Amino acid sequence: MQVSDHAQRRYAERIMDRDTKADVAVYVSANKDKINNDINKMVEYGTLIYSGKMEKNNNVVNVYIKDTWIVLVDPGSKRVITLYSIDLGVGSLFNEEYIGRLMHKLESAKADYEAKNAELQELIQELREQQEENKEKITEYRRLANELEKANENIVNVISDYEVQRYVAEAEVRDIVETLIGKKVK
């Protein structure tokens, strides 16, 4: 796995306690292979605790934890982005207890997520099936509506034909009546 320059500098600062830019640059330059090897081992022997988007920058990352160290990896490029230690400033035992409790809480939250996700996937699938049924009904109803509109157009045409026939029959009656009474209407 590739290790970004940023992660290499953070290793020098945070693990090797280099505190000036010059010290960091010299250490990274002299120990690139060791840094890359150590960081890759942190990922290899660490635990992947999350893979997904982070709220702050909306990028997809893989988050690994190894002891008290967090390593962020870009899953697309398989490149280590950065690393840092969880240090609350009250000693390593407290840090380990804190991480242990958070990991337990995380496992519980993941289990809840998986259960809810399975339930919601089932409900979503049911809703999608209902949506497809509705689409099919809409298509059928539109087809029926089109057929009814065409039938109404035909009815209008038939009515018009009947009205013409009625007018012709009425005109014939009128012509005969006018012949009887001696008048011609034109």
Residue type, 29: S
Query: Which two structure tokens, joined as six digits, stand for 112?
Result: 């809840």
Give the E-state strand segments of 69-154 in sequence order: 69-74, 79-85
Of 85, 119, 153, the domain-final residue: 85
70 shares a domain with 118: no
Domain boundary among 59, 85, 111: 85
d(CA 144, CA 127): 25
Please check whether residues 53 and 71 belong to one and the same domain: yes
Number of domains in the chain: 2
Residue 97 to residue 111: CA distance in whole angstroms: 21
| Whether residues 60 and 111 fall in one domain | no
Same domain, 101 and 60: no
Q: Based on the domain organization, do 70 and 30 belong to the same domain?
A: yes
**114 and 47 in one domain?**
no
CA 67 – CA 83 distance, rounded (Å): 12
Q: Which among 50, 85, 120 is the end of a domain?
A: 85
Residues 81, 45 share a domain = yes
Express each pLDDT in 108-142 by its tens digit.
999 999 999 999 999 999 999 999 999 999 999 99
Asked whether the beta carbons of 5 and 27 are under 8 A apart, the reply is: no
Residue span of the structural domain in which 175 resides: 88-186
Residues 180 and 103 in one domain: yes
Confidence band of 91 (pLDDT split at 50, 70, 90): confident
Which amino acid does the sequence have at 6? H
pTM for the full model?
Answer: 0.66
- The pLDDT tens digits of the residues spanning 100-115 come to 999 999 999 999 999 9
| 70 and 114 inside one domain | no
